[in-house]
């Protein structure tokens, strides 16, 4: 079998549908139970949910579990997806090579790359193949681990399994590392080895030229696609092309690409609708944005939270608060589960327009309907009040955010911290700076930079702190150099 061209996901799904009678209602019901699990915190596992489901006399097929894993993974619920695979393993449900690769990727997301490496090492030799090698390579590339990625890629080349997916992973790595100039040589390497470029390859090839601010290079790649393999062009190609034009400020060319996107996408492609909405907002085409949203709602029976999120973000970008309120209300009336991301999008838009009461109302609603965490929302309020010189209100929201932090899962925005310290220094407010340091210490964010700012505030206020050296040493702060000179000024004669 020739694995040099990846099999489209749609083709795989079509084969599954042809070989198994799918109970859509069962998949939906099971997925709703599993998706309700909180990604962090809580004690109920996906395995416990599945056990209860089976105890109710329901049958669970591998196809249903695979679909749930795919959806959970799509929405970033890697821990729950991994727990399903662990449940399958305990019950001796046969894994394919693709399943082993999926599990490896989930382990990396949920437990870290070291755990994924251990899992790979434990696999039977037969399962150390292009799928699992490719999954491990993808983990390294996503983690920006260039040395390990290149070493593994070299080994895959030696085994003659470095096909399209492997090259695409390396291209992703270099784009993540902001090294777009390294992508074209990879494309040339594929061509020398007679390895076919797929749609993803071409899209990243175009993206590399966009990263180099070479719009002519982008267009040249597109022309190559048209000439060499027109079948690789789909709606994602036009979406990428439009985004590059938006970046270059070529709005008319972007609009033309978006019209081509609509011709290619099909009427029920929700993902394509999202790109259209976001990109039309990017070129300030409000009329087109609302037309596409109306088309989405008329062509799809249900609209998921992610589409509502994209629409709210687009309306916020265009400062269309009235339409945002209407869309928010539509979501409230139709939602099957509360999504904190939508609340955050609304809060951003309301604060951007100075509508504090509306933003606070959304936060209160979110706190009533969600278990949180609410770090991001409170950070938005912190930043807003700091920018409007309402420091006491800003500090209140930062304190509220820090109060719910567990296991260092969130840190304050460094720019906000700098603004706080600058204000306290200007006002010679030592008490305010000390209060901020106490908050930072609670989330292990009291570093040398924070102490430097605290010392500057003491110096500006002309106050002494005889115990400061002891405090700093207890917190592991190096008191040499510039910070040491400041320290001497606040120690007094002690």
CA distance 286 to 477: 52
For residue 87, the model assigns a pLDDT of 93
For residue 359, the model assigns a pLDDT of 97
CA distance 363 to 379: 12
For residue 485, pLDDT over 60 is answered with yes
For residue 17, the model assigns a pLDDT of 34
CA distance 443 to 450: 13
For residue 469, the model assigns a pLDDT of 93
Residue 211's nearest CA partner among 239, 237, 236, 174 is 174
Percent of the chain surpassing pLDDT 90: 77
5 confidence band (pLDDT: 50, 70, 90): very low
Mean pLDDT confidence for 400-404: 93
For residue 183, the model assigns a pLDDT of 97
Residue 140's nearest CA partner among 176, 164, 194, 93 is 176
For residue 26, the model assigns a pLDDT of 64
Mean pLDDT of the chain: 90
Residue 167's nearest CA partner among 132, 204, 124 is 204
Q: Which residue has the tokens 């019209």?
A: 259
Burial class of residue 106 (count of CB atoms within 10 Å of its CB; 0-12, 13-18, 19+)? buried
436 confidence band (pLDDT: 50, 70, 90): very high
For residue 14, the model assigns a pLDDT of 34
Mean pLDDT confidence for 266-284: 95
For residue 53, the model assigns a pLDDT of 86
pTM across the whole model: 0.79
CA distance 245 to 243: 5
Digit-coded pLDDT (tens) for 28-68: 778 888 877 764 445 788 888 888 888 888 888 898 899 99
Residue 372's nearest CA partner among 404, 412, 410 is 404
Digit-coded pLDDT (tens) for 287-301: 999 999 999 999 998
For residue 58, the model assigns a pLDDT of 86
For residue 301, the model assigns a pLDDT of 87
Count the helices and strands in the chain (H runs, E runs).
28, 0
Digit-coded pLDDT (tens) for 90-135: 999 989 999 999 999 999 999 999 999 999 999 999 999 999 999 9
Digit-coded pLDDT (tens) for 9-33: 333 333 333 334 456 666 777 888 8
For residue 6, pLDDT over 70 is answered with no
For residue 241, pLDDT over 60 is answered with yes
Of 229 and 456, more confident: 456
Residue 345's nearest CA partner among 371, 381, 314, 375 is 314
For residue 450, the model assigns a pLDDT of 95
For residue 29, the model assigns a pLDDT of 76
For residue 24, the model assigns a pLDDT of 65
For residue 4, the model assigns a pLDDT of 35
Q: How far apart are the first and last CA of the chain?
A: 79
CA distance 175 to 65: 33
CA distance 280 to 243: 10
Of 453 and 25, more confident: 453
For residue 12, the model assigns a pLDDT of 34
Mean pLDDT confidence for 390-412: 92
For residue 172, pLDDT over 90 is answered with yes
CB atoms within 10 A of CB 67: 20
For residue 79, pLDDT over 80 is answered with yes
Q: Which residue has the tokens 């917190």?
A: 475
Q: What's the 3-state SS for the chain?
A: CCCCCCCCHHHHHHHHHHHCCCCHHHHHHHHHHHHCCCCCCCCCCHHHHHHHHHHCCCCCCHHHHHHHHHHHHHCCCHHHHHHHHHHHHHCCCCCCHHHHHHHHHHHHHHHCHHHHHHHHHHCCHHHCCHHHHHHHHHHHHHCCCHHHHHHHHHHHHHCCCCCHHHHHHHHHHHHHCCCHHHHHHHHHHHHHCCCCCCHHHHHHHHHHHHHCCCHHHHHHHHHHHHHHCHHHCCHHHHHHHHHHHHHHCCHHHHHHHHHHHHHHHCCCCHHHHHHHHHHHHHCCCHHHHHHHHHHHHHHCCCCCHHHHHHHHHHHHHCCCHHHHHHHHHHHHHHCCCCCHHHHHHHHHHHHHCCCHHHHHHHHHHHHHHCCCCCHHHHHHHHHHHHHCCCHHHHHHHHHHHHHCCCCCCCCCCHHHHHHHHHHHHHCCCHHHHHHHHHHHHHCCCCCHHHHHHHHHHHHHHCCCCCCHHHHHHHCCCCCCHHHHHHHHHHHCCC
For residue 409, pLDDT over 90 is answered with no
């Amino acid at each position: 079998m020739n694995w040099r061209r990846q099999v489209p996901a749609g083709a795989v799904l079509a084969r599954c549908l042809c070989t198994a009678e799918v109970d859509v209602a069962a998949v939906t019901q099971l997925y709703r139970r599993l998706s309700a699990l909180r990604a962090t915190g809580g004690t109920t596992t996906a395995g416990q949910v599945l056990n209860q489901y089976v105890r109710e006399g329901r049958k669970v097929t591998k196809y249903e579990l695979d679909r749930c894993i795919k959806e959970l993974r799509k929405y970033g619920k890697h821990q729950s997806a991994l727990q399903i695979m662990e449940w399958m393993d305990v019950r001796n449900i046969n894994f394919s090579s693709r399943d082993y690769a999926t599990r490896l990727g989930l382990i990396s997301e949920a437990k870290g790359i070291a755990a994924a490496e251990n899992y790979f090492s434990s696999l039977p030799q037969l399962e150390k193949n292009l799928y699992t090698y490719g999954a491990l390579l993808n983990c390294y590339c996503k983690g920006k681990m260039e040395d390990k990625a290149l070493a593994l890629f070299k080994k895959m080349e030696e085994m003659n399994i470095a096909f399209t997916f492997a090259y695409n992973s390396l291209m992703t790595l270099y784009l993540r590392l902001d090294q777009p100039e390294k992508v074209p040589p990879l494309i040339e390497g594929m061509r020398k080895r007679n390895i076919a470029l797929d749609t993803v390859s071409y899209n990243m090839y175009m993206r590399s030229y966009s990263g180099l601010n070479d719009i002519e290079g982008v267009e040249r790649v597109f022309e190559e696609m048209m000439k060499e393999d027109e079948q690789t062009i789909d709606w994602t190609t036009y979406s990428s092309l439009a985004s590059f034009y938006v970046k270059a400020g070529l709005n008319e060319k972007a609009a033309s690409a978006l019209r081509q996107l609509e011709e290619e996408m099909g009427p029920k492609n929700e993902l394509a609708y999202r790109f259209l909405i976001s990109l039309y907002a990017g070129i300030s085409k409000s009329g087109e944005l609302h037309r596409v949203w109306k088309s989405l709602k008329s062509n799809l029976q249900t609209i998921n939270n992610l589409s509502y999120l994209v629409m709210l973000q687009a309306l916020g970008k265009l400062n269309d608060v009235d339409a945002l309120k209407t869309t928010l209300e539509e979501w409230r009336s139709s939602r099957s589960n509360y999504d904190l991301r939508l609340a955050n999008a609304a809060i951003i838009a309301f604060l951007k327009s100075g509508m504090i009461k509306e933003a606070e109302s959304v936060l209160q609603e979110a706190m009533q309907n969600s278990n949180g965490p609410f770090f991001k929302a409170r950070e938005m309020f912190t930043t807003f009040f700091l920018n409007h010189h309402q420091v006491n209100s800003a500090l209140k929201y930062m304190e509220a955010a820090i109060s719910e932090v567990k296991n260092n899962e969130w840190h304050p925005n460094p720019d906000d911290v700098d603004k706080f310290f600058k204000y306290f220094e200007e006002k010679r407010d030592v008490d305010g700076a000390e209060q901020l340091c106490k908050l930072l210490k609670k989330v292990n964010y009291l570093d040398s930079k924070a102490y430097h700012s605290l010392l500057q505030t003491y110096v500006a206020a002309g106050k002494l702190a005889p115990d400061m050296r002891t405090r700093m040493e207890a917190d592991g702060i190096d008191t040499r150099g510039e910070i040491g000179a400041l320290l001497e000024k606040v120690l007094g004669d002690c």
